[in-house]
Chains A and B, each alone.
Chain A
């Protein structure tokens, strides 16, 4: 298994020199969304706290880094950590309010959506952060400002993000924190009776998850060169974030990666073939149908199903 993983990484590293720019771009999105999905996986998959408002963290991270770069000349390489920290702060607030007040399941989902929407409306209306037009980042191509002339540089950054986050989640799985997360997802009350400080563990998961997502916001901002409140805080982005780990397998290490490799190409295809359907609509229908299909037929996701299949062939 180890050998297979190394081989796969080697292939991915070599790929940009073999394939064309379009494929590289698609892969960048696959890696990036796998990263965001992996970050969400910590609190949404392992701990089972469904958050449908993670876009808020992307937005905060992105806006923070972009604003610091534009107004304070701060390099995004530093700004990304500040953005991550601010996102973690919001995550801590949401987590504390939600967990302390005992919000579970549907109520917690609503809480996260409410916060994300508030961020969106604020960003839309506060002109100091760009208002409805959003923020634009001037192209300089300067690596010190997190900008690269070559698409492939972004490719490697995204690849590192994906691999690093996956290594982190794998490590979590093997340590006490991960065991506690998984147990909390099963039955919090029983955990409390076994000496697990469930509030603390859930907070840690939420803060870590939102921090990582916030860091991802910087990549988002400096790869797309623009931040639009509706795009970066809105529900569609939150859906993009959660659907990959859910389809791939929430609470598994490979889930977000597998999910991203399934969904990004699917989204691309639906976008191109249903282009006359108007306005981004078609691929979200596919997402909705996929969510429904996964819930009905593969509730644990694609990765566990593949593992079961692999075990059946001796």
Chain B
């Protein structure tokens, strides 16, 4: 039984079929990359998986259990945590207090939650900035905070939505190592990413979405060589170069 099984997932927005019959599976411990051109429906898939949107069709089974119709907080409690593409820190709370809110989901007692939060904050490298207001952090630190909060809910599956976006090369390297460490620690990861180097190096497998449909899947190498993928990203000319 896969950790996450998605079959026939559909979502419509008015006349637009954002996700059209998606099948996807993710094994325990796996890191699955979800790539595709802008507007392919990747974040919509995340919203559907995490309960922020309800599907118009299809099934989502997490740990064998159907999670369609559950509220986001219920899905989080079941062990699926997500980050947001545009980070949403609690701006007026400190880094530690931000993560504490997440930790309270697993540790209702304040003292224990603070301890757990502390551990996660140190783990992602925000230790020195634990008491800073989240609203004042740099983007890279905010991304770390977003990650820390999701981690503090002690998930078995982590949905990361473009966690590298906006970071410079050094920051991306650090984040790649961070994500790899998380996965090695036993947490499965579903990763939406535009940074190809990061996705290719991190993922065990990749699924490619275009206009709401899966157009390719396989190992990073397989997918990189797939002409349908090249066509989707770069257009037909790159697959069929015009005759000079």
Contacts and interface: CB of A to CB of B under 8 A. Distances in A.
B110 A179 contact: yes
B75 to A, nearest CB: 9
B101 A187 contact: no
Contacts of A183: 90, 93, 101
B177 interface: no
B188 interface: no
Contact of B110 (A176, A186, A196): A176
B153 A194 contact: yes
A311 interface: no
A51 B149 CA distance: 30
Nearest to A189: B88
Nearest to A300: B92
Interface in B88-126: 88-93, 97, 100-102, 104-105, 108-110, 113
Nearest to A183: B101
Interface stretch (B14-22, B25-33, B77-85, B235-243): B77-85
A186 B94 CA distance: 12
A180 B88 contact: no
A198 B108 CA distance: 15
Query: For chain A, what secondary structure do more than half of its interface residues adopt (helix, strand, loop), or is it mixed?
Result: helix
Given A182-B93, A187-B88, A187-B90, A195 B100 contact: no
A153 interface: no
B148 to A, nearest CB: 11
A196 B150 CA distance: 12
Given A191-B101, A193-B81, A195-B77, A186 B91 contact: yes
Given A180-B104, A182-B93, A194-B102, 14 more contacts: A176-B113, A179-B100, A179-B104, A182-B90, A183-B93, A190-B88, A190-B89, A192-B72, A193-B50, A193-B52, A193-B73, A193-B150, A194-B149, A197-B74
16 contacts: A174-B110, A176-B104, A179-B100, A180-B101, A187-B90, A189-B52, A190-B84, A192-B52, A193-B52, A194-B73, A194-B150, A194-B152, A195-B73, A195-B102, A195-B105, A195-B153
Interface of B: 50, 52, 71-74, 76-77, 81-82, 84, 88-93, 97, 100-102, 104-105, 108-110, 113, 149-150, 152-153
